[in-house]
Structure 1
Amino acid sequence: MHDDQVDVTADIVAILIREQFPQWSGRAIQPLLSTGTVHAIFRIGDGLSARFPLRLGDPTETLAVLEREARASAELAQVSRFPVPEPVALGKPGAGYPMPWSVQTWLPGTVAFDADPSGSDAFAEDLAAFIAALRDAETRGRRFSGDNRGGVLAHHDDWMEKCFEESEVLLDVPRLRRVWSHFRELPRTGADVMSHGDLIPGNVLVTGDRLSGVLDTGGFGPADPALDLVSGWHLLQPGPRDVLRRTLACDDLEWERGKAWAFEQAMGLVWYYAESNPTMSRMGRRTLDRILASME
């Protein structure tokens, strides 16, 4: 999926486990088919999973990221009303794999890409309960400090320009430019709250049309209160989306900003993963279609 991608195999994982965590040696190692774009994931026995960064980076910087994600995941686990993976260990480079990697608990369930809960009001209520619990968590004086989604919409103008240029033969770019010109001007009023940051179908587990767990929790941190509302556009049809909004008591501005963050994310997914990860690209198109339909 990436020009600088690092491949990792089950044989490499087995060697790393045997050398660094012999207490798990001999457990079955199963590569997981995933739409994820950041990590290769391997199941270790029944209760653990290992995550290997896909993109080559400086090992020291990668370790710092993994340590930060582990702290964030542990903090989110303390406030979530639904099961989330918990950090277990950090591994070192070895066996031909050049970077640190992580181990966390395994959660059962089916990702929302494969068990579509988009028409379920009960799922929307569960999703709202998850978001509300995160919003109630203490920021402890922390504020958004990154350069990804969750800060100032207009700071993404350069990225959006690249998305528009790359999407000329894929999407109705003139119309989408007009939409962004509206979104980028939306004012920010609410203070930062704690947020998951990436509530897309691949990070949500479903059992029987109910939310049964949430994955990829390492981005837990302070952000625009509207950020986790991207879930309404990535995951829900209009009826359940209204349930999410009512349950969270979103005003018009907050709801529109959530739509804006979903738009920013979806625009990048369509072209970047058009060939390398068609599932993610299709998700981006579906989200854009939902946003445009809501504006007609």
Structure 2
Amino acid sequence: MSAGQLHPGQYPIDDDLVRRLIAGQFPQWAGLAVARFPSGGTVNAMYRLGDCMVVRLPLIEGGAGDVASEREWLPRLAPLLPTSVPEVLGAGKPAEGYPWPWSVYGWLAGRNPEPDSLAEPGPLAKDLAGFVVAMRSVDLPGAPRAHRGGPVAALDVETRAAIAELRRIPQEDVDCDAAIAVWEDALRAPGWDGPPVWLHGDLMPGNLLVDGDRLASVIDFGCTGVGDPACDLFPAWNLLPPGAREVFREALDVDDATWIRGRGRTLSQALIALPYYRRTNPSMAKNARHVIRAVLGER
């Protein structure tokens, strides 16, 4: 991959392309300023459009399906959720050589929370639990299968491959034997035997916006759908310290098996992300290291 690329096959997006796309399809916004918005996201490029909008364009073909999913489900989910979510203002089409659909959203103010800088994490834990409960309570027909909603065992090959790769990167100092033990705990845990529930599916700090230390908005619903409720326990380890982690768990009334699956899923995501992004996406690599420390620190 060339410098600055996160993935093979990534499409080169710049300010000029975004201006041309806007001018050609949304001429009413053609005079607004366009500026790349720094983001730790891995699938989309984000550009501010004026003061009140943001343009989101997939970087790779695999992200194109998320665009259609968000256009269909965000308007239906928004009135059912306790926090703000992105509002689609414009549905862009392939043009100017750019091959995939893209969208314009209303801008949502706030900052991404940092795991080690939360002054009062308890209220945020309750806010996050309230969002997850609201998602689980959604009853909309025709729900898609969530991107991460299947059985834990589906991640086994990729997770073990990542652990093997991390053994070859001693500078990351990952206790790979401990990681395998946690992962095998998750594999042994009973699977979800209830009906599939609605999930956000990607509750990473980069997809949360806070005002102070309170949850203001949740963004990036490209992975949304129904599946195992363990998939929305990610914040317990990728954001919350131990005390607030327990607040989160108690607010959700999570049983032991679901908690163990959630811990394993969160660790799996971090183990896979760290070797992949360690040289290309500092934000993702930093959070992956945090997750690994948080999970293995519980043993």
TM-score, with normalisation over the residues of structure 1?
Answer: 0.91
Q: Are 1:183 and 2:182 matched, yes or no?
A: no
Letter in 2 for 1:181: E
Which structure 1 segments of 5+ residues have no match? none
Offset, 1:174:
2.5
Judging changes above 3 Å, is the alpha-carbon distance between structure 1 residues 207 and 55 closer, same or farther for their aligned structure 2 residues? same
Q: What is the aligned partner in structure 1 of residue 215 from structure 2?
A: 211
Offset, 1:218:
2.9
Offset, 1:219:
2.3
- Work out whether residues 115 and 240 of structure 2, in 8 Å CA contact, stay in contact via their aligned partners in 1: no
Q: Are 1:90 and 2:95 matched, yes or no?
A: no
Judging changes above 3 Å, is the alpha-carbon distance between structure 1 residues 220 and 75 closer, same or farther for their aligned structure 2 residues? farther
Q: What is the aligned partner in structure 1 of residue 3 from structure 2?
A: none
- Cα distance in 1 for partners of 2:118, 2:273 equals 21
Offset, 1:31:
0.9
- The one-character-per-residue Cα deviations of 1:70-105 (angstroms, maximum 9, x if unpaired) are 112222212110011012222122234232211111
Q: How does 1:262-281 map to 2 (within 5 A)?
A: 262-281=266-285
Offset, 1:33:
0.3
- Cα distance in 1 for partners of 2:133, 2:291 equals 23
- Work out whether residues 199 and 230 of structure 1, in 8 Å CA contact, stay in contact via their aligned partners in 2: yes
Judging changes above 3 Å, is the alpha-carbon distance between structure 1 residues 118 and 142 closer, same or farther for their aligned structure 2 residues? farther
Q: Let me know the Cα RMSD of the aligned residues.
A: 2.0
**Partner SS for 2:56:** strand
**Partner SS for 1:50:** strand
Q: What is the aligned partner in structure 1 of residue 43 from structure 2?
A: 38
Match of 1:243 among 240, 247, 270: 247
- Cα distance in 1 for partners of 2:116, 2:50 equals 24
- Cα distance in 1 for partners of 2:118, 2:277 equals 23
Offset, 1:142:
4.3
Q: What is the aligned partner in structure 2 of residue 158 from structure 1?
A: 157
- Cα distance in 2 for partners of 1:16, 1:3 equals 23
Judging changes above 3 Å, is the alpha-carbon distance between structure 1 residues 118 and 215 closer, same or farther for their aligned structure 2 residues? farther
Count of aligned pairs: 289
Judging changes above 3 Å, is the alpha-carbon distance between structure 1 residues 79 and 179 closer, same or farther for their aligned structure 2 residues? same
Question: Deviation above 4 Å: which 4+ runs of structure 1?
Answer: none
Q: Which 10-residue stretch deviates more, 174-183 or 100-109?
A: 174-183
Offset, 1:221:
1.2
- Cα distance in 1 for partners of 2:285, 2:36 equals 22
- Cα distance in 2 for partners of 1:120, 1:56 equals 37
Q: Which 10-residue stretch deviates more, 17-26 or 245-254?
A: 245-254
Which structure 2 segments of 5+ residues have no match? 1-5
- Work out whether residues 42 and 51 of structure 1, in 8 Å CA contact, stay in contact via their aligned partners in 2: yes
Q: What is the aligned partner in structure 2 of residue 111 from structure 1?
A: 112
**Partner SS for 1:34:** coil
- Cα distance in 2 for partners of 1:259, 1:275 equals 25
Q: Are 1:24 and 2:29 matched, yes or no?
A: yes
- The one-character-per-residue Cα deviations of 1:16-67 (angstroms, maximum 9, x if unpaired) are 111111011101112100000010001111221111111146xxx93x5422
Q: What is the aligned partner in structure 2 of residue 149 from structure 1?
A: 148
- Cα distance in 1 for partners of 2:22, 2:181 equals 51
Q: What is the aligned partner in structure 2 of residue 10 from structure 1?
A: 15
Q: Are 1:231 and 2:207 matched, yes or no?
A: no
- Cα distance in 1 for partners of 2:153, 2:202 equals 19
TM-score, with normalisation over the residues of structure 2?
Answer: 0.90
Letter in 2 for 1:14: R
**Partner SS for 1:222:** strand
- Cα distance in 2 for partners of 1:55, 1:28 equals 25
- Work out whether residues 110 and 216 of structure 2, in 8 Å CA contact, stay in contact via their aligned partners in 1: yes
Q: Are 1:68 and 2:73 matched, yes or no?
A: no
Offset, 1:117:
3.1
**Partner SS for 1:184:** helix
Q: What is the aligned partner in structure 2 of residue 126 from structure 1?
A: 127
